Structures are given as C-alpha cells and as structure tokens.
Amino acid sequence: MQTLKMVVTGPFNAGKTEFIRTVSEIDTVSTERRITSEIERIKNTTTVAMDFGRITIDNDLVLYLFGTPGQKRFEFMWEILSEGMLGFIVMVDSMRPETFREARKILETFRAYAPTPYVVAANKQDRADAWDIEDMRIALRLDPKIKLLNCVATRKESVKSVLLELLYSILAELDSVENQEVS
C-alpha cells in the first residue's frame, strides 16, 4: 500500500480541521485542547492539536491529509510535518484580516521547508463580511501566479475543488520541469 500526504496549514481557527473533516473518510483525529503557555514550558509531553484525515484512492494508494496546529507555539512541528509532502494548502479566514500577516509568514515558512507546489484557500467566502478575493491577494502579497481559491470548508464540492487545484498545480510543475529538460 502506497501512501501520500498533503498538508493543510494556516493560522489558528482558519478552518483547517473543518476542511479535512469534510472530505476525510475516517473520523478526523483531532485534538484542540487549550494549553496554557506555562504548562507548555514545564511539561515535555504537552498535548498538542493535530488533525489527520484519509482518502482511499484505490486498493493500493491512500492519501492522507495532515492539518498543522495553527498556534505559533507549535511551529517546531511544521518542519517534521512538511517532510515528504506532495503539496500544501494554506487556509486563510477571509473574515479575519488580522490573521493575513501570520498566514503569509506560515506560507513562507512552509515554502522554505519544502519547495513543493501549494495553493491558498480563502475560507468562509460564503459570509457577508468576507473580504473580496482580489483584495485578499493584495493583502497577502501573493504573486498573480499563485492560486488563491474561493473556499467554504464545510462544503464538500468546495474542498474538492481546492484539492483538485493543488493537484493540477503539481501536475503543471512536473510538466514544466520536463519541458525545461527537453529544451
């Protein structure tokens, strides 16, 4: 059985857990226990938030979706988590501009860990107060080549569309490397 993984990252409360839960065929393993920073310093076995979901592709291929803990204090895990990932999705809450700067930082950190393709998902686009997608692109300082996608993490079709766009980006990068070699 071959397994592949994608990582869903983003600031705290951006909708990562919901995103994975919407398409996972198993109960998402999820822990969102709040921990005081003082306990965290003292205990070396502090429980941390994590999610993972699964999509069985066929008899010998499984795709795992790993959600990163959004809180900055769990940053140490990101590098471990990025190991061997196919690509990653940065979730951003379209209603919370105060988290855009953090989302940008997370994106850059993941990009440094692994130069794999990624897309940015603007979550909660169904809400009246959601920022316009092009305004978000400016605020997040995203290159026009980077896919910034409408997303509603609770809707299956929307989540599927984000996953597919990431997969298309990976395919496109494979093709581009191939074309460079040919030329």
Binding stretches for other proteins (CB under 8 A): 1-4, 23, 26-31, 33, 38, 41-42, 44-48, 50, 52, 54-58, 61-64, 66, 77, 80-81, 83-86, 114-117, 156, 160, 163-164, 167-168, 170-171, 173-174, 177-178, 181
User: How far is the C-alpha of 49 from the C-alpha of 34, rounded, in Å?
Assistant: 8
AA identity, residue 156? K
User: Which of 99, 118, 90, 101 is closest to 19 using CA atoms?
Assistant: 90
Nearer to other proteins (CB atom), residue 72 or residue 156: 156
Rama region for 80: left / alpha / beta (φ>0; ψ in -120 to 50; rest): alpha
User: How far is the C-alpha of 17 from the C-alpha of 22, rounded, in Å?
Assistant: 9
Q: Say how far residue 137 (Cα) sits from the centre of its chain.
A: 17
Nearer to other proteins (CB atom), residue 91 or residue 166: 166
Shortest Cβ distance from residue 138 to other proteins (Å)?
29
In 3-state terms, what secondary structure has residue 49?
Answer: coil
Shortest Cβ distance from residue 97 to other proteins (Å)?
31
Shortest Cβ distance from residue 102 to other proteins (Å)?
21
Shortest Cβ distance from residue 129 to other proteins (Å)?
29
Nearer to other proteins (CB atom), residue 84 or residue 135: 84
Helices 156-182, 16-23: axis angle to 10 degrees equals 90
Nearer to other proteins (CB atom), residue 2 or residue 128: 2
Shortest Cβ distance from residue 47 to other proteins (Å)?
5
Nearer to other proteins (CB atom), residue 105 or residue 160: 160
Instruction: With residue 133 as reference, give the H or E element that holds it.
Output: helix 133-139
